[in-house]
Structure 1
Amino acid sequence: MPMPFARRLDQVETSAIRELFKLLGKPGIISFAGGFPDSAMFDVDGIRQAAEAALRDEPGAALQYGATEGYQPLREALAQFMGGKGVQDMAPQQLIVTTGSQQALDLIGKTLIDPGDKVIVEGPTFLATIQCFRLYGADLVSAPIDADGVQVDRLEQLIVEHRPKLVYLIPTFGNPSGATLSLERRRRVLELAVQHQTVIVEDDPYGDLYFGDAPPPSLLALSHEVPGSRDWLVHCGSLSKVLAPGLRVGWMVAPPEMLARATMCKQFSDAHTSTFAQATAAQYLRAGRMPATLARVRAVYAERAQTMGEALRAELGDAIDFVPPQGGLFVWARLTGARGQVADGNVFAQRAIDQGVAFVPGAPFYCANPDHATLRLSFATAGVEQIREGVARLGQALAG
């Protein structure tokens, strides 16, 4: 007799990115595939000091069961952290701590999505979001994007047509697109939320990883300019990309009724995020080390992004098209097929593996109508010379 699995599992597949990692055991392979921060960028000394302080100052609280909503000193530190990024009147009770921002997405699915509900996502968008929302039975609708983020006129048309349960956006340095929603479009998105009484989910794991000028304020920070928009806005944040993903510390800001429901669902899942990790994160934020950490990370990633862009132009020329990233971890590119060269990301990915370099084809990042010519390259975990070598191998794969 076959195992009687839940029918909801028929809606999802194993992550294409996780499957790709199985191919990376080849010695000497250069990977542009992962969406990880560089472990060399972790402030190990600062995190060690924060962990020691947590055990020294409040060992009982750090090692005991805790409140599902989160460790109160961390909620206070995160509220202050958000306030420093322009979020007005941010109070600790307006957020809950989650086990990474991925859990926040799961809680959104649990609390808002019924089977058959329409949910609008960007095309392309974060692969795990597609999988998560489909697990809860969402009927996903793709909203087109360009270099300035989601096309708001088209987004409004889709909202009117589909009456979605929610709209999910990564406004700043999107994964995989790298696109950043313009200030004008951000205000319009908030206006659409109020006008159509539609929940907007803002996922913001990359907003602090900018290379030059700071990006526009988050939707959450802008919400005070659009009366009523805070009532329809959910904001997900994370320390994974800027501090350390191993801490698994994220958070969700949402209207009170939704936070209450999400807290109830979190009780069923894990009772609470690790109190020791939360206490460590709280100590780290209070120690004031984050600005220096962010400055160092931004400088390193900016150099790597520039190196990758220059190498792609030199090695692949007009066979590839992309917008140089202004932040985040990725270059989102499209094969042009110039001079009859390969124009399918999956085919190119296999050729690249044969040459000893890996990236993620773009098609899995679309919930519908995938663009098979696209691909995502991460510059985060490879050094400058490794990036040059890896892109040179891509040039060889293109020629082959």
Structure 2
Amino acid sequence: MPTSVPVESYASFLNTRAARRKPSPIRALQAVLATAPAGLISLGGGMPNPALFPFSGISVTLRDGTVLSLSEESVRAALQYSPTPGIPELVSRLERVQRGEHSPPGAAGDRMAVMVGTGSQDLLAKAFDTFLDEETPVVIEAPTYSGTLAALEPIGCPLITIPSSTDGTGIDVGAVEELAAAFESGERAGPRPRLIYVIPTAGNPTGATMPLENRRRLYAAARRLGSLIIEDDPYRFLDFGEVVDPADADADAAAAAARSSTPVARTPSLLSMDEDGRVLRFDSFSKLLSAGLRIGTVTGPKELVDALGLHAQASCLHTSGVSQALVLELFRHWGVGDKTPPAEDGSARCMGDMEAHIAEVASFYRSQRDACIEAINKHLRDPGLAELYAVPSGGMFAWIKVPGLADTTALVKERAAAAGVLFVPGSAFVPGGGSAHSAFVRASFSVASHEQLDEAFRRFASAIRDSGSD
């Protein structure tokens, strides 16, 4: 890996709109109020009188029957305006979690900051709107998350598409290295990519997880290009800690190996190797706690996180206080972020009892994955009707190719729907909007029962056969 070259200034990464944003003097008062002594009399910000709010208490019941009731003070904080980065105690706990989970080295660790957002999707959209314009390229994998395309394509920025690797390990890092070499040699002219966007764990839609060595190579390529890395990692805690070869001649043996695998330590993140301060990491609690709470985080250099904070000050002000307060109360109950890493027992992580919940969630989705792969092998792969890009090593998606079709949209919307099964056509994950084509479909195995998964792929097999008879 090249010698560390810390990013000294982030001004060149901001677009014109972001460079014009200034801190809100009224929003700045929220930080003062959050730490003010009890006797402070505020005649500052236009905060509504909490005595008129119709709510007097908030409590939730956990699945084990435990009732969590917010204190009067917590209820007041939840219902009132709060600092843009998040409720201070929640942010502090999240900072300890991120340091324990990722431990960014050197100067990047010293400059690390965390902000709470209304889901990672909202934070990603703010990031793209902060860094990109019509002249600034961004590197993305093709296929990639449709929500990312929905945020990028209206900006009009040039999309440098890198294909997924042929070995089922996500973005083709070799192609990114070739891109860097082309800019270095002068073979490729024009602006270098300002951002590299990647989903390193259980990619959506492919289900692929980048091996550690590929992550190291991608970081090195970002250094050569002078790019920031947008590490979108909502499925990190749905990592099964295993890799299964989809080309295994013995499909039953591959499925059995997947079922018997014991999860290992989560693959080190790109943030964990960020010596320069060029990684902006996005996490989500939607898959782990609740999608409806809309709680996500962005972690990275303070200057970049603050730039997203200025965007939030002019839009949503802050994420729902009620959602934040519920997550904070759960974290207190579970002991998440109680300790400053490394803990007294020598462990780096400070997840508390949430680690057991993470294991339960990952185990459930691993079982769902196994049932999905078994059904795909039985109804699609063995009869030669479809191919699996990779056995997912995490997450909740399988990426399936239907050979002989240039595009699966009609198959999904007409034949499959008529047969009583629904997928997402692969074109939804390819840049190009209505003109995009793909021979793939994405299947989600998160909600359907094992019996329903088997029946779904039986119906899909029937739809493929019917389409071939036309």
Equivalent pairs, count: 348
User: Are residue 389 (structure 1) and residue 418 (structure 2) matched?
Assistant: no
Distance (whole Å) between structure 2 residues aligned to residue 302 and residue 171 of structure 1: 18
Secondary structure (helix, strand or coil) at the match of 1:245 reads: coil
Partner in structure 2 of residue 179 of structure 1: 208
Q: Which residue among 346, 353, 363 is the counterpart of 1:299?
A: 363
Which residue of 1 is the match for residue 92 of structure 2? 76
Whether 1:150 and 2:216 are equivalent positions in the alignment is: no
Q: TM-score, normalised by structure 1?
A: 0.81
Counterpart for residue 319 of structure 1: 385
Name stretches of at least 5 consecutive residues in structure 1 with no aligned partner. 1-42
Amino acid at match of 1:348: L
Which deviations, in whole Å up to 9, do the C-alpha atoms of 1:350-373 show, x marking residues without a partner? 211000000001112011595521
Q: Matches of 2:437 and 2:201 in 1, distance apart? A: 22
Q: CA deviation at 1:137?
A: 2.5
How far residue 214 of structure 1 moved from its aligned partner, in angstroms, is: 4.0
Which structure has the larger Rg over C-alpha atoms? 2
SS in structure 1 opposite 2:120? helix
- Name which of structure 1's ranges 287-296 and 68-77 shifts more when overlaid on structure 2: 287-296
Alpha-carbon distance between aligned partners in 2 of 1:271 and 1:217, rounded to the nearest angstrom: 33
* Structure (1 or 2) with the greater helix fraction: 1
The residue that corresponds to 1:127 in the other structure is 146
| Alpha-carbon distance, 1:56 to partner | 4.5
1:204-353 to 2 correspondences below 5 Å: 204-211=233-240, 212-223=263-274, 227-228=275-276, 231-288=277-334, 289-317=353-381, 318-322=384-388, 323-337=390-404, 344-349=407-412, 350-353=414-417
CA contact (8 A) 1:333 1:374 kept: yes
Q: Which moved more, 1:65-74 or 1:316-325?
A: 316-325
Aligned partner of residue 150 in structure 1, secondary structure = coil
Aligned partner of 2:337 in structure 1 is none
Q: After alignment, is 251-260 or 349-358 more displaced?
A: 251-260
Looking at structure 2, the residues matched to 165 and 83 of structure 1 have their Cα atoms a distance apart, in angstroms, of 26
> How far apart are 1:238 and its partner, in Å?
0.8
Q: Could you say what secondary structure the match of 1:58 adopts?
A: helix
Question: Which AA in structure 2 matches 1:359?
Answer: F
Post-superposition Cα deviations, 1:40-64, rounded to whole Å, max 9, x if no partner, equal: xxx96169967x4334552221211
Aligned letter for 1:381?
Answer: V
Letter of the 1:63 counterpart: L
CA RMSD of aligned residues (A): 2.3
Aligned pair 1:201/2:261, yes or no?
Answer: no
**Paired residue for 1:141?**
160
Q: Deviations over 1:321-364 (max 9, x none)?
A: 11211110100111123xxxx56422321211000000001112
Amino acid at match of 2:465: A
Structure of greater relative contact order (alpha carbons < 8 Å, 6+ residues apart): 1
Q: Which amino acid aligns with 1:218?
A: S
* Structure 2, unaligned runs of 5 or more: 1-59, 241-262, 335-352
DSSP 3-state at the match of 1:389: helix
